[in-house]
């Protein structure tokens, strides 16, 4: 499959939105979140349920299965996607599908597992240098979150839309992952407020206002694509918006 990637230089059409220093590409060379890499980890995690022996075959098939599942589910919903349709669209047979998972729910949980795995692998390990600067820490969080969800957009859209509808294990995994992200934001905010760099009447509530700004990027990805907004521009817009919103009085517009 050929993927067309818009170059960063294309972005000049919004002169009010300068490009952010760290690009999407820089993030992507830091973490390998390609479908192949994700499905390799998926195979490792589910060696017991996946009956295919040879890893290279298993990974190749998993990539096809997962990509097709995400494409079909994100259009019409996971529950509406029949396994017959998945089989046809992914070029496998019904029986072949069932050598990779033992039930439709397992397929869902396998995908959710990689999503929450990717979250803790990226957001879970912020550079140590940031711990003393809440401003940089917050900016790193926002930026990394947008780039992560940009790279795995169909996965995150899937997790957001389908997590509630399915087995208890999946729902709780999604809920915990969501709250963890919000806690990271709240921590950075609280640190900034303590040091007098931020102003927020209620840190938890402010954190829960920032979260939907990050989610909008992958939930409404189509809208932003249609409008020609690049990931780097969205990072810049969200960062400016949030930093102005929590800037202590009298320090307005003094970003380095």
Partner DNA sequence: ATTTTGTGAGCGAGCGCTCGTTTTTATTGA
Partner DNA sequence: TCAATAAAAACGAGCGCTCGCTCACAAAAT
| Nearest-angstrom CA–CA distance, 9 and 108 | 38
Nearer to its own copies, 77 or 124 (CB): 77
| Nearest-angstrom CA–CA distance, 50 and 41 | 12
**Choices 41-49, 92-100, 183-191, 208-216 (CB under 7 A): range interacting with DNA:** 92-100
Which string of x and - marks every residue 191-220 that binds DNA (by CB under 7 A)? ------------------------------
The answer to whether 52 contacts DNA (rule: CB under 7 A) is yes
Instruction: DSSP for 20-89, please give it.
Output: PSS-HHHHHHHS---HHHHHHHHHHHTTTT-----HHHHHHHHHHHHHHHHHHHHHH-TTT--HHHHHHH
Q: Are 81 and 72 in contact (CB under 8 A)?
A: yes
**Choices 32-40, 48-56, 110-118, 241-249 (CB under 8 A): range interacting with its own copies:** 241-249
| Nearest-angstrom CA–CA distance, 212 and 207 | 9
Look at residues 102, 218, 91, 106 and name the one whose alpha carbon lies nearest to residue 155.
218
The answer to whether 79 contacts its own copies (rule: CB under 8 A) is yes
**Choices 114-122, 143-151, 158-166, 190-198 (CB under 8 A): range interacting with its own copies:** 158-166
Neighbours of 183 (CB within 10 A): 13
Look at residues 234, 65, 218 and name the one whose alpha carbon lies nearest to residue 156.
218
**Choices 20-28, 87-95, 146-154, 212-220 (CB under 8 A): range interacting with its own copies:** 212-220
Q: Are 92 and 101 in contact (CB under 8 A)?
A: no
Q: Could you tell me the smallest distance in angstroms from the CB atom of residue 27 to DNA?
A: 33
Nearer to its own copies, 80 or 131 (CB): 80
Q: Which does 249 bind (CB under 5 to 8 A by kind): its own copies, DNA, none?
A: its own copies
Angle among Cα 109, 175, 189 to the nearest 5 degrees reads: 135
The answer to whether 161 contacts its own copies (rule: CB under 8 A) is yes
| Nearest-angstrom CA–CA distance, 149 and 147 | 6
- Which of 14, 31, 98, 224 lies at the binding interface for DNA (CB under 7 A)? 98
Nearer to DNA, 31 or 166 (CB): 166
Q: Which residues bind its own copies (CB under 8 A)?
A: 14, 16-17, 75-77, 79-80, 161, 164-165, 201-202, 204-206, 208-209, 211-213, 215-216, 220, 223-224, 227, 229, 233, 237-238, 240-242, 244-247, 249-250, 252-253
């Amino acid at each position: 499959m050929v993927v067309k990637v818009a170059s960063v230089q294309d972005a000049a059409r919004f002169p009010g939105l300068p490009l952010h220093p760290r690009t999407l590409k820089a993030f992507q060379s830091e973490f390998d979140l390609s479908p192949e890499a994700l499905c390799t980890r998926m195979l490792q995690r589910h060696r017991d349920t996946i009956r295919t022996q040879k890893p290279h075959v298993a990974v190749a098939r998993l990539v096809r299965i997962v990509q097709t599942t995400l494409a079909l589910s994100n259009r019409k919903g996971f529950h509406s996607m029949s396994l017959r349709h998945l089989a046809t669209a992914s070029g496998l047979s019904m029986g072949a599908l069932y050598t990779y998972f033992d039930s439709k729910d397992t397929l869902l949980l396998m995908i959710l597992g990689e999503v929450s795995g990717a979250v803790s692998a990226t957001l879970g390990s912020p550079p140590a240098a940031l711990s003393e600067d809440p401003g940089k820490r917050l900016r790193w969080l926002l930026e990394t979150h947008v780039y992560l969800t940009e790279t795995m957009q169909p996965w995150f859209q899937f997790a957001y839309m389908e997590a509630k509808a399915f087995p208890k294990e999946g729902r709780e995994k999604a809920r915990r992952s969501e709250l963890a992200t919000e806690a990271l934001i709240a921590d950075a905010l609280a640190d900034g407020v303590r040091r007098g760099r931020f102003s927020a009447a209620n840190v938890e509530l402010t954190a829960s206002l920032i979260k939907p700004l990050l989610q909008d990027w992958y939930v409404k990805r189509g809208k932003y694509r249609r409008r020609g907004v690049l990931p780097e521009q969205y990072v810049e817009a969200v960062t400016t918006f949030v930093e102005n919103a929590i800037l202590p009085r009298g320090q307005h517009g003094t970003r380095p």
